[in-house]
């Protein structure tokens, strides 16, 4: 407990130090962080926006949510905000290809954008993509699941929206991790389109009702199926089926604590919003551009990717993982300007 407190204090000091340094460059910029639609994953962006505005002295950093998870609504929101004078955007694309034309039009009007939490598909005019390496996250999660199962058995993958290209990457990652077991682990089924409450309830409960005894492990790569599966396993009282979820919803964390869930893949939504607002402020001020020769990670979607950090939460680090994420955030932000930007 004492160690956790000291770590938290240390992280707080690092962030505060960076904040004080950043506050010296107060700006008139109006920045908006825009998710693809309403989703609990993005809830930390609101606090991240408020903190970034305060810490870096930015005139406005707003968190604006399209009313539904639809490209047209996100596009309209972006266009209307640009018409109101917002001059930089951090965007989770509602569609990684469809958003590109809007981003290109914003860029031609001198308004920079960054993809946060999810990338656009190259070629794109977004400056960079800061997010979870979804392939790596799903791969590591599946490896953790296989380890929890003792290296053998049958697993099921609870995947997100079919029309989301990230789902394709996650499906490939799970398949790769399973293939590496040389037949010891079998992927029974990939249940897709589960990242909505009603669909997740129906599909996961039907799956457990019909095939509970054949399933040895499950991995969810969407926020909502992760929560629903955690609740279902608790209701069933089943600790035999090993489950790896994603994100840190309190229901999932409680299930880890009580042993119904083996672990969950933590992402860093707060860090994505906080760092995204900080960098967009630098770029909107006109003094900074992205370096072409920076150590970008190349992914199937983009050549300018930065991993915002991922780690497995289990019973061992349940109390300390937030400090680890804060450390990752402070580390990325502290190095961002020198590593990825050319500033005058």
Partner 1 sequence: MSDDAIRDAPPRRRLSLGGASGQIGLLAIVIGFWVVFSSLAPGFLSTFNLFNLGRSLAVDIVIGFSQMVVLATGGMNLAVGSIGVCAVMFTGFLLQDLGLPIPAAMALALVLGTLLGWLNGMAIVKTGVNSFIITLASASLYLGAMLILTKAVPYSELPAAVGAFGRLKIGTFLSPLLVIAIVIGAALFVLYRFSTLGRQILAAGANPRAAAMSGVPVDRVIVFSHGLSGFLAACAGLMLVARLGAAVPSVGGEEWLLPSFLGPVLGGTLLSGGVVAVVGTMIGAALVTTIRSGLLVLQIGNFWLQLFLGLILLFAVFVDRYRSVYAERRSTRQR
Residue 319 touching partner 1 (CB under 8 A)? no
Q: Which tokens belong to 40? A: 């609990």
Residue 121 touching partner 1 (CB under 8 A)? yes
Residue 24 touching partner 1 (CB under 8 A)? no
- Find tokens 């920079």 and name the residue: 112
Q: How far is the CB of 149 from partner 1 (least distance, A)?
A: 29
Residue 322 touching partner 1 (CB under 8 A)? no
User: Which of 229, 223, 326, 297 minimizes the C-alpha distance to 11?
Assistant: 326
Residue nearer to partner 1 on the CB measure, 18 or 73:
73
Residue 71 touching partner 1 (CB under 8 A)? yes
Q: What is the CA radius of gyration of the chain?
A: 20
Task: Please choose, out of 76-84, 130-138, 232-240, 268-276, the segment that lies near partner 1 by the rule CB under 8 A.
Answer: 76-84
Residue nearer to partner 1 on the CB measure, 145 or 174:
174
Residue 101 touching partner 1 (CB under 8 A)? yes
CA distance 312 to 306: 19
Residue 300 touching partner 1 (CB under 8 A)? no
Q: How far is the CB of 323 from partner 1 (least distance, A)?
A: 34
Binding mask 158-177 for partner 1 (x = CB under 8 A): ----xx-x--x---------
Residue nearer to partner 1 on the CB measure, 75 or 329:
75
What are the residues binding partner 1 (CB under 8 A)? 64-68, 70-72, 76-77, 79-85, 94-98, 100-101, 104-105, 109, 121, 123, 162-163, 165, 168
């Amino acid at each position: 407990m004492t160690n956790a407190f000291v770590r938290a204090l240390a992280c707080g000091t690092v962030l505060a130090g960076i904040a004080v340094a950043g506050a010296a460059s107060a700006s008139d910029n109006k920045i908006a962080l825009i998710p693809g639609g309403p989703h609990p994953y993005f809830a930390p962006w609101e606090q991240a926006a408020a903190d970034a505005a305060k810490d870096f002295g930015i005139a406005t950093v707003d968190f604006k949510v399209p009313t539904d998870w639809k490209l047209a609504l996100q596009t309209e929101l972006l266009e209307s905000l640009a018409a109101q004078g917002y001059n930089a955007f951090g965007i989770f694309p509602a569609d990684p290809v469809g958003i590109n034309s809007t981003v290109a039009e914003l860029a031609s009007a001198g308004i920079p954008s960054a993809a946060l939490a999810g990338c656009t598909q190259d070629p794109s005019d977004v400056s960079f993509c800061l997010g979870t390496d979804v392939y790596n996250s799903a791969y590591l999660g599946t490896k953790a699941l296989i380890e929890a199962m003792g290296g053998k058995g049958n697993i099921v993958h609870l995947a997100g929206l079919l029309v989301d290209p990230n789902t394709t990457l996650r499906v490939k990652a799970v398949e790769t991790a399973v293939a590496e077991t040389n037949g010891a682990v079998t992927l029974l089924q990939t249940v897709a389109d589960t990242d909505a409450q009603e669909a997740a309830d129906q599909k996961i409960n039907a799956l457990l009702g019909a095939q509970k005894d054949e399933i040895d492990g499950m991995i969810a790569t969407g926020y909502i199926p992760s929560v629903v599966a955690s609740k279902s396993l608790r209701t069933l009282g089943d600790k035999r089926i090993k489950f790896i979820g994603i994100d840190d919803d309190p229901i999932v964390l409680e299930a880890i604590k009580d042993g119904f869930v083996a672990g969950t893949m933590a992402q860093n939504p707060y860090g994505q919003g906080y760092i995204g607002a900080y960098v967009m402020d630098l770029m909107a001020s006109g003094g900074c551009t992205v370096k072409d020769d920076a150590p970008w990670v190349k992914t199937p979607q983009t050549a300018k990717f930065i991993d915002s950090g991922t780690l497995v939460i289990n019973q061992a680090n349940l109390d300390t993982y937030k400090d680890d994420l804060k450390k990752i955030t402070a580390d990325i932000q502290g190095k961002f300007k020198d590593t990825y930007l050319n500033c005058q």
